[in-house]
Amino acid sequence: MTTTCKICSPFVPGLTGLRSGPLDAPDAVAVHERVDNTRVTVLRGPTMGPRRARAAFEILKLWENGRRLRCRFLDGEAAVKAKVEAIAKEWQDHANLKLEFVSDGAAEIRISFAEKGFSWSTMGTDALVVPAAEPTMNYGWLEADTSLREYQRVVRHEFGHALGMIHEHQNPAAQGQIPWDKPKVYAYYAQQGWSQADVDFNIFEVYAEDSTNHSAFDPTSIMQYAVPDALTVGSFAIGWNTELSPIDIDYARRQYPRDRPAVTELTVGAAPLQADLAGAGEVDTYRFVVPQAATYIMTTEGPTDTLLTLHGPNDPGAVLAFDDDRGRGRNARIVRKLLPGEHWLTVRHKQPGGIGSYAVAVKKRAG
């Protein structure tokens, strides 16, 4: 299953949105950018038995931790561009990414002001599938005399998308939290040419539970739209958020941590490497090299209920195997014949909010 971006239209003039690249390429780009963009959820049922399971595969759109992202303006006034750049760089205070604004040449994030009336951004690594001459982000109403609060609201929101964040009202935890008056919402968007299916897809649908790292519903998030009282049942409204919420900041720090390398090297046959999952949703990534074709044993040890996923050979986007409880206790164990080349392991807690210590090792099976 893929996690696709959803294109949005305004509740009132001035809504920020996001766009996705072509559906055939973004997932492949995402999993080659960052191994743990492929998330495996183990599904068990009463007919499967304790040793049988199937997996759901979801794709995130996060950049490699620590990455340098080049940003280039394709057009626009100097004063407007300077304000956008200054506000965009605020994300560097929380995420281990470098936003480098360049005047020419290649750039992962390309910013335009040409499409008037709409502000949008591709989500995370989807920017990599947009043709090099086209924008990946647009600000359709920012002018030199636009208020600072509006700059902060829009730029913080769109660069949140550029770092891989979804709209908060489509957070799985938002299900049932906003008392939409659906007939009024359908009627409102019908005036803009939207069908009922368009409204369902862009407004009411939420992402699958395991398709994205998410928190409890956060109505103060910079990624949350304003929700007018006129489109809800009873007295419920959310105003325009202009600041990063504490949960926004925590998300950026967890997905792009400064104190953890993007990939840790493992040596086949070495002693187990001690590690820990220190925050909810954390995923640790390891790389090891198989010198010759043989059967290898990959394990976790310790008190933590871990989920282990194997990728390769020589392709971080290829998932070879997964396990969550074939090891001792609640540990994972994968036994598989591997071909020579690079392989990767990702380790995360089986529970979305779980933390704890563990050890990970790879060894060649004797005999």
- pLDDT bracket for residue 24 (50, 70, 90): low
Tens digit of each residue's pLDDT (9 = 90 or more) over 113-170: 999 888 889 989 999 999 999 999 999 989 999 999 999 999 999 999 999 887 765 6
More confident residue, 13 or 69: 69
Q: To the nearest whole percent, how much of the chain has pLDDT over 70?
A: 82
Q: What is the 3-state secondary structure (H, E, C) of 196-240?
A: HHHHHHHHHCCCCCCCCCCCCCCCCCCCCCCECHHHECCCCCECC
Tell whether the model's pLDDT for residue 212 goes beyond 80: no
Q: Is residue 212 part of a domain?
A: yes
Task: State phi, psi for 201 to the nearest 5 degrees.
Answer: -70, -40
Instruction: Give yes or no: residues 176 and 138 share one domain.
Output: yes
Backbone angles phi, psi at 311, to 5 degrees: -125, 150
**Cα dist from 329 to 268, 305, 332, whole Å:** 23, 8, 9
Question: Among 231, 255, 279, which residue terminates a domain?
Answer: 255
pLDDT (mean) for 343-354: 88
In a domain, 224, yes or no: yes
Let me know whether 81 and 224 are in one domain. Answer: yes
Question: At residue 357, does pLDDT exceed 50?
Answer: yes
Measured distance CA(228)–CA(51) in Å, rounded: 50
What pLDDT band is residue 281 in, cutting at 50, 70 and 90?
A: confident
Peptide bond into 13 cis (omega under 30): no
Domain interval for residue 344: 264-364
In a domain, 5, yes or no: no
- 2 found inside a domain: no
- What CATH number corresponds to the domain at position 226? 3.40.390.10
Summarised one tens digit per residue, pLDDT across range 26-67 is 888 888 888 888 877 765 555 445 455 555 667 889 999 999
Domain assignment present for residue 1? The answer is no
The pLDDT value recorded for residue 23 is 38
Does residue 165 sit in the same domain as residue 110? yes
**Whole-angstrom Cα distance, residue 266 to residue 290?**
11
Q: Do residues 307 and 225 share a domain? A: no
Q: Do 160 and 237 have their domain in common?
A: yes
* Domain closes at, from 196, 227, 255: 255
**Mean pLDDT, the chain, as a whole number?**
82
User: Is 8 inside any structural domain?
Assistant: no
Last residue of a domain, one of 203, 228, 255: 255
CA gap 106, 113 in Å, rounded: 19
Span of 3-7, 57-61, 110-114, 304-308 with lowest mean pLDDT: 3-7
- Predicted local distance difference test score (pLDDT) of residue 168: 61
Cα–Cα separations (whole angstroms), residue 242 to 149, 153, 220? 6, 4, 9
Quick one: what percent of the chain has pLDDT higher than 90?
44
* Same-domain check for residues 208 and 309: no
Number of domains in the chain: 2
Q: How does pLDDT run across 66-109, given as a tens digit for each residue?
A: 999 999 999 999 999 999 999 999 999 999 999 999 999 999 99
Same domain, 242 and 278: no
Q: Assess whether 275 and 340 both reside in one domain.
A: yes
Q: What is the CATH number of the domain that holds 348?
A: 2.60.120.380
On the question of pLDDT at 12 being above 70, the answer is no
Structure tokens of 49? 């038995």
Model confidence over 177-204: pLDDT tens digits? 778 888 988 888 788 777 888 777 767 7
pLDDT of 287 > 90? The answer is: yes
Same domain for 237 and 295, yes or no, is no
| Domain assignment of residue 9, yes or no | no
Same domain, 277 and 307: yes
**Residues 251 and 232 placed together within one structural domain of the fold:** yes
Q: What is the per-residue pLDDT for 10?
A: 37
Band (335; pLDDT cuts 50, 70, 90):
very high
Using CA atoms, how far residue 280 sits from 6, 250, 271, in Å, is: 26, 10, 27
Q: State mean pLDDT over 329-349.
A: 93
Confidence (pTM): 0.77
**Residues 222-266: tens digit of each pLDDT:** 887 767 788 888 877 766 777 888 888 888 888 898 887 888 999
Does 3 map to a domain? Answer: no
**228 and 330 share one domain:** no
